[in-house]
Structure 1
């Protein structure tokens, strides 16, 4: 506790080194670069400014920092719903006085341009991107063109579709393609952009209510292999995998009495096998069905000098809403403001209440707010993308629950980046049936392994 207090004290002192305007300008500058690492730095700066705004009771700074948190958080797929709600409340308040005039001022009516079509789903099928709409598309609703940025040497393939999205902007992934982004370009125009350093063979067709886009890089295999070897990761990295619950603690008991401790242990064993086959040093906090106290799990990782700590769990809700709740989520340690994260954390923390009372835990978590948070956030995003990237290719209705902050006691004390993975809802009949099948579990394990390798590659 004393060490944590000094960490917090050093953090507060570091905030005072830069003025509010300098810190805000720095964060805005990071956001403009487009680099994911800089976006993480921007997100961290905005959160620091938010804390300062609260301490200094500066409402203007509070609004600016909240805008930054929401913007950077959305780009990084971080749950910023609570910040967004707070921002709306602050910006909806009347901060200007009414003009002194007897004349009535007519309010301008908001002009809303509604598109005739709505995008319902986005999926990869046989290597092709499938955009499914609520109605059949007409030829004049699709505008396709190609751009080339000679300065940056980037080829852009652009689709403008007269339609609207029901979801937020998305960055999609495909081997051999640098960047694929789907966003609401205008109120009535949906834009899909495919970017690559080399030319891409792009073709598309309309089928029923779907727009099907195929793309293939023209880069030589030797060039792709060369780029891959340049990003070769250090195989001496040490990974500790934590299979949640165990022994007297079954974890969540869901559909048809399937037990969380059994499912996550099998995924953990598969993940260990895959990582070891790729040359990594891998350890598990439990090698069999035994109970291990939460505090001992991170202590074990610290003793092994682990580079990362991954705790695997399965989510659950009450039967009355079991069929409505599904999806994959990743959490990193933080005293969360989200009710959803607190609920999940309470469920995972409940197994071991012996170390510290509730008040003590919350105080300790508050002190650890900025410890390893940036690296853990990056790891969580890579793990989430790794799992979804493989599952979406083979299964339908795989929901991205997002990357979130949460007060998970199992992560407290870890001296390395640490993440808690919720591989699905064992209380949901569809996900539970999948989680007890060997093929589905192995796909999750492979996705986690890919995410871990991506994280290490980006850290080099």
Structure 2
């Protein structure tokens, strides 16, 4: 009997290992496609494997799944700092367990060799259509080798730049509208390789400015056809008896977000969309009524606009723009932000029950909502960074926001900044800043509909 029991356990463990390996390979393939939907599928696979690794106490699987979560989460602009910290801890612990290599004995015949320190990549930036790779030391033309590959069967062009005597801490994917894929990785110990891949031929030029390699793109993109026969519901957070956050110089959240929402409505209407507001004045609207209104209007997307805040002692330190989509989460930060926004109408919370409200989630909308959040975040940052300095990207995050529960369409909560931060608060009460942000949000909406 014991013999058969051990045989059963062996077969079960083998099947589980095979299944996990299959899921891991599938997730890796999703990551190679570089599309948002496949990246999100990979993210979910890696998270499932992470849970499996915890149950099976499989350290190798845990490290691989954490690496996947961090890579896919960063690409989706999801806050994965918790997983990243755990990964660093496990990698450090794992490195301690590895046997140390034996020291080589010095002989009289071995001379000291001077090794020239490698160039290190310090930053990656875009200046309009120019990719800037800045190193810690000046570059020379002799260090840059480039060539082009054309795969006729797949109709793929690859532009390769090899940068000699340079090093990178980890591989990176770089995104640019109009280009299929840009990848930067360590080709060998002394060569950094930049690969630009596209389905059509590109006009690319390179130049060196001291420590910076400049890759210039001359893009010829066809105009994107966008279906503007869409219904959009914009929700200005709080209102009436609920002022929302009261921040720097007593600026009130309900007023700031209403003005941004009205400006966004104006821009989207001018572009041909059908737009509705959950409130057209300074009045209080119950949280459950807001998504119900969107459902009644058969909205294609729902955007709830809010402003964040922290207490006095941290007010000068915390700032940034964030986008949240509805999803169960264990992130303490997301829970704190959600608790602040959810506190507006606790009667609604009691009606459904605090502990059971996540059952109302429309899981089929989570992927679409994540895509919408990414496009809105990119739109805001893209518009604001052209005119203003120190605009912080707070990222795209998951959060249990009550105002999004029940929405039968992709829905996102936008935190336009911290009204408690002196600089950000002054900007949020400035008409030009609000109009620029609204244009960025509108551009994000356009990008979402163009890609979906």
TM-score class, shorter: 0.7 to 0.9
CA shift in 2, pair 1:193/1:96, >3 Å: closer
What displacement does 1:149 show?
2.6
Aligned counterparts of 1:319 and 1:416: Cα–Cα separation in 2 = 37
1:368 counterpart (345, 361, 370): 361
What displacement does 1:21 show?
4.9
CA contact (8 A) 2:362 2:408 kept: no
1:342 aligns with 2:335: yes
Equivalent residue of 1:122, what SS? strand
Equivalent residue of 2:349, what SS? coil
Q: Which residue of 2 aligns with 1:59?
A: 57
136-145 vs 267-276, which moves further: 136-145
CA contact (8 A) 2:160 2:194 kept: yes
1:396 counterpart (385, 389, 394): 389
Q: Which residue of 1 aligns with 2:111?
A: none
Equivalent residue of 1:452, what SS? helix
Equivalent residue of 1:355, what SS? helix
What displacement does 1:243 show?
0.8
- Give 1:228-267 correspondences, 5 Å limit: 228=224, 232-267=225-260
Equivalent residue of 1:361, what SS? coil
CA contact (8 A) 1:392 1:398 kept: yes
CA shift in 2, pair 1:410/1:166, >3 Å: farther
TM-score by length of 1: 0.78
Q: Which residue of 1 aligns with 2:398?
A: 405
CA contact (8 A) 1:114 1:188 kept: no
Aligned counterparts of 1:242 and 1:307: Cα–Cα separation in 2 = 14
Unaligned runs of 5+ residues in structure 1 are: 1-15, 99-104
What displacement does 1:289 show?
1.0
Aligned counterparts of 2:199 and 2:378: Cα–Cα separation in 1 = 22
Aligned counterparts of 1:251 and 1:272: Cα–Cα separation in 2 = 21
Q: Which residue of 1 aligns with 2:144?
A: 143
What displacement does 1:338 show?
1.9
CA contact (8 A) 2:360 2:406 kept: no
Deviations 1:223-262 (A, max 9, x none): x24xx2xxx2332222111111111222222222222211
CA contact (8 A) 2:37 2:367 kept: no
Unaligned runs of 5+ residues in structure 2 are: 1-15, 104-115
Aligned counterparts of 1:186 and 1:397: Cα–Cα separation in 2 = 36
What displacement does 1:351 show?
1.8
Deviations 1:182-238 (A, max 9, x none): 567678766554444444443454556655443213x4x7xx24xx2xxx2332222
Q: Which residue of 1 aligns with 2:217?
A: 215
CA contact (8 A) 1:146 1:155 kept: no
CA contact (8 A) 2:384 2:437 kept: yes
CA contact (8 A) 1:124 1:393 kept: no
2:292 counterpart (286, 299, 302): 299
CA contact (8 A) 1:330 1:419 kept: yes
CA contact (8 A) 2:63 2:91 kept: yes
1:450 aligns with 2:448: no
Q: Which residue of 2 aligns with 1:5?
A: none
Q: Which residue of 1 aligns with 2:6?
A: none
Deviations 1:283-312 (A, max 9, x none): 111111111121211111112121211111
Aligned counterparts of 1:380 and 1:434: Cα–Cα separation in 2 = 22
Paired residues in the alignment total 421
TM-score by length of 2: 0.79
Q: Which residue of 1 aligns with 2:271?
A: 278
2:309 counterpart (304, 308, 316): 316
CA shift in 2, pair 1:383/1:129, >3 Å: same
Aligned counterparts of 1:124 and 1:92: Cα–Cα separation in 2 = 37
CA shift in 2, pair 1:383/1:107, >3 Å: same
Alignment RMSD:
3.7
CA contact (8 A) 1:274 1:446 kept: yes
CA shift in 2, pair 1:108/1:323, >3 Å: farther
190-199 vs 279-288, which moves further: 190-199
CA shift in 2, pair 1:95/1:400, >3 Å: closer
Aligned counterparts of 1:369 and 1:97: Cα–Cα separation in 2 = 45
Aligned counterparts of 2:84 and 2:352: Cα–Cα separation in 1 = 27
Aligned counterparts of 1:156 and 1:418: Cα–Cα separation in 2 = 37
1:45 aligns with 2:45: yes
CA contact (8 A) 2:286 2:348 kept: no
Q: Which residue of 2 aligns with 1:71?
A: 71
Aligned counterparts of 1:323 and 1:163: Cα–Cα separation in 2 = 38
CA contact (8 A) 1:238 1:305 kept: yes
178-187 vs 292-301, which moves further: 178-187
CA contact (8 A) 1:276 1:282 kept: yes
1:124 aligns with 2:122: no
CA contact (8 A) 1:120 1:165 kept: no
What displacement does 1:343 show?
2.2
Equivalent residue of 1:447, what SS? helix
Equivalent residue of 1:353, what SS? helix
Equivalent residue of 1:413, what SS? coil
